[in-house]
Amino acid sequence: MLKHVPWRGLRARVVLIGWALAFIAFVPAPAPAGTALDERVLGKARDYLYNYVSWELEAILFKIRQAHSSLAPFTTETERARFVIRYLDAVKRADELNGQIDRVFADPNQPDKTQAFQLTVVRDAVVSSIKQYQPLAETIIEGQIGAVLRDEGFAVLGEVIPPVSARITDLPMLLVISPRNVIRRDLAINLINLTPDQMAALEAEIDHDFGVSSLVVPIGGLALYPSMVIRSGHAPYLYETIAHEWAHHYLLLFPLGFEYLNTGSETWIINETVASVFGREIGRKTIERFYADFPEVLRLLPASQSPRLPRSASVTPTPSDPPRFNAGAVMNETRVRADQLLAEGKIEEAEAYLEQQRRLFAANGYVYRKMNQAFFAFYGGYQAPDGSGAGGQDPIGPAVSALREGHPSIKAWMETVRGITSRTALLEAVQMISRK
Domain ranges for the chain: 8-169+224-298, 173-218+305-394
pLDDT at 311 (0 to 100): 53
CB burial class (10 A; 0-12, 13-18, 19+) of residue 377?
A: buried
* pLDDT value at 280 more than 50: yes
What's the angle, vertex CA 277, arms to CA 27 and CA 149, rounded to 5? 75
Contact assessment for residue 81 and residue 3, using Cβ atoms and an 8 Å cutoff: no
Backbone angles phi, psi at 415, to 5 degrees: -65, -25
pLDDT digits (tens, 9 = 90+) for 283-330: 999 999 999 999 999 999 987 554 455 655 444 444 444 468 888 899
| Pairing label, strands 212-218, 187-191 | unpaired
105, amino acid identity? F
pLDDT digits (tens, 9 = 90+) for 325-350: 888 899 999 999 999 999 999 999 99
In this structure, of 26-30, 50-54, 158-162, the range with the lowest mean pLDDT score is 26-30
Interatomic CA distance for residues 112 and 105, integer angstroms: 9
Interatomic CA distance for residues 221 and 283, integer angstroms: 14
How does DSSP assign 307-342, residue by residue?
PPPPP-SEE---TTSSSP--HHHHHHHHHHHHHHHH
* pLDDT value at 361 more than 60: yes
311, amino acid identity? R
Interatomic CA distance for residues 299 and 234, integer angstroms: 11
Sign of CA dihedral 404, 407, 409, 415: negative
Confidence class of residue 7 from pLDDT cuts 50, 70 and 90? Answer: very low
| Pairing label, strands 227-229, 166-168 | parallel
pLDDT at 309 (0 to 100): 56
Nearest to 385 by CA among 405, 368, 361, 355: 405
Q: Which residues are within 8 A (CB) of 258 and not within 5 positions of it... i.e. 6 or more apart?
A: 252
pLDDT at 263 (0 to 100): 56
What's the angle, vertex CA 182, arms to CA 178 and CA 188, rounded to 5? 15
What's the angle, vertex CA 324, arms to CA 321 and CA 325, rounded to 5? 115
Q: What percent of the chain has pLDDT over 70?
A: 83
The percent of the chain in helix, strand and coil, each rounded to the nearest 5, is: 60, 10, 35
- For range 405-415, the mean pLDDT: 96
Confidence class of residue 355 from pLDDT cuts 50, 70 and 90? Answer: very high
pLDDT digits (tens, 9 = 90+) for 370-380: 999 999 999 98
pTM, full prediction: 0.87
CB burial class (10 A; 0-12, 13-18, 19+) of residue 391?
A: buried
Backbone angles phi, psi at 4, to 5 degrees: -90, 115
Residue of 6 and 18 predicted with greater confidence: 18
Please state, rounded to an integer, the average pLDDT across all residues of the chain. Answer: 86
pLDDT at 314 (0 to 100): 46
* pLDDT value at 103 more than 90: no
Contact assessment for residue 222 and residue 172, using Cβ atoms and an 8 Å cutoff: yes
In this structure, of 60-64, 80-84, 170-174, 299-303, the range with the lowest mean pLDDT score is 60-64
